[in-house]
Amino acid sequence: MPYTLAHPALIVPLRRWIVLGAAAAGAMTPDFGYYLPLAVVNRVPYPSAAFTHSLLGAVTFDTIVGLVAYIIWRWPVRTELLGSLPTPWSTQTLARTAVVLPSRTPAMRAVLLVVSVMVGAITHVLLDIVTHERAGTPGFIADENVLGLPVSAFLQRGLSIVGLGLLAWWIAREIHDIAPLSGLYPTRRMTLYIGSVIVAALLGAGLFVRDYPPITEGNAVIAVLLGFTAGGAFALVAVSVALVIHHRHRVARAMSQGVRSEPRSRG
């Protein structure tokens, strides 16, 4: 299992033919179950990692969850997160991530979205099969030990670093294309995002370490990584929703004040 956030690296080369965000969501969904806190796992009948990492799981459950994740990304996260960047980055990143679907009919567009999520989920499942993951069950990894570590561990860590590196390079290049990075200062809303993500990620890591079955050196690292990611993702969505509600309130207040002040401005 390369790290979940590294999986979309496989999608970037396909971006001309598919909806990038939808495929990236699909490329992460097979792992979503790992990020549910124990309190949730105990109450929700979430499918096993074996199923979400099968081809059948990829084209059914993973695709549905991927579509939901993609919708949450499109709105509210994308609009609020990218909108909180200073100009020209906010306008440019919003324009660059706007989806221009080649097909004309709504039905064809829907098909393209679904296929994109599916392609993403399939790349995840295939890569995990190659890197010897069998649904997170270490007992199935029957590979040789090299320098005290199984080959699969090297593959997983290596591919995670390569994938994250490629994504970071690609995103940095896209951002650099907009304007010199020296002008990219944190806005107030950006600071709110960064602060909330850090706090939630730390809380998530603590929660997962507490919840994780017998903590050994190896799975403590995994628990921290899973909790950190789950907390950070939760904060991204929560802050985005809060900002949407805040905007609505402000618009509503401005409108009601406008209505009240109208007679005065006329008189």
Contact call for residue 1 and Zn ion (CB under 5 A): yes
Closer of 123 and 240 to Zn ion (Cβ): 123
Contact call for residue 31 and Zn ion (CB under 5 A): yes
Which range binds Zn ion by CB under 5 A, 109-117, 124-132, 190-198, 232-240? 124-132
> 77 with 237: CB under 8 angstroms?
yes
Nearest distance from C-beta of residue 1 to Zn ion, angstroms = 4
| Residue among 76, 128, 200, 240 that touches Zn ion (CB under 5 A) | 128
Count interface residues toward Zn ion (CB under 5 A). 4
Which range binds Zn ion by CB under 5 A, 29-37, 69-77, 154-162, 231-239? 29-37
Contact call for residue 62 and Zn ion (CB under 5 A): no
Nearest distance from C-beta of residue 42 to Zn ion, angstroms = 22
Contact call for residue 236 and Zn ion (CB under 5 A): no
Contact call for residue 80 and Zn ion (CB under 5 A): no
Nearest distance from C-beta of residue 23 to Zn ion, angstroms = 16
Look at residue 37 and give its three-state secondary structure: coil
Q: Which residues pair with 146 in a beta bridge?
A: 149
Distances (CA, A) of 41 to 13, 32, 104, 204, 225: 35, 11, 41, 15, 18
Nearest distance from C-beta of residue 249 to Zn ion, angstroms = 40
Angle subtended at Cα 20 by Cα 111 and Cα 13, rounded to the nearest 5 degrees: 115
Closer of 28 and 205 to Zn ion (Cβ): 28
Closer of 41 and 172 to Zn ion (Cβ): 41
Closer of 64 and 111 to Zn ion (Cβ): 64
Alpha carbon distance 113, 101 (integer Å): 9
Nearest distance from C-beta of residue 240 to Zn ion, angstroms = 26
Mention every residue, 6+ apart, whose C-beta is less than 8 A from residue 267. none
CA-based diameter of the chain, in Å? 86
Which range binds Zn ion by CB under 5 A, 19-27, 28-36, 164-172, 230-238? 28-36
- SS3 per-residue string spanning 91-154: HHHHHHCCCCCCCCCHHHHHHHHHHHHHHHHHHHHHHHHHCCCCCCCHHHCCCCEECCEEHHHH
Nearest distance from C-beta of residue 242 to Zn ion, angstroms = 31
Tell which phi-psi region holds residue 186, choosing left (phi > 0), alpha (psi between -120 and 50) or beta.
beta
CA 190 to chain centre: 18
Closer of 87 and 137 to Zn ion (Cβ): 137
Mention every residue, 6+ apart, whose C-beta is less than 8 A from residue 140. 132, 134
Nearest distance from C-beta of residue 160 to Zn ion, angstroms = 11
Closer of 58 and 178 to Zn ion (Cβ): 58
Distances (CA, A) of 172 to 78, 152, 176, 181, 195: 17, 30, 6, 9, 21
Residues forming the site for Zn ion (CB under 5 A): 1, 30-31, 128
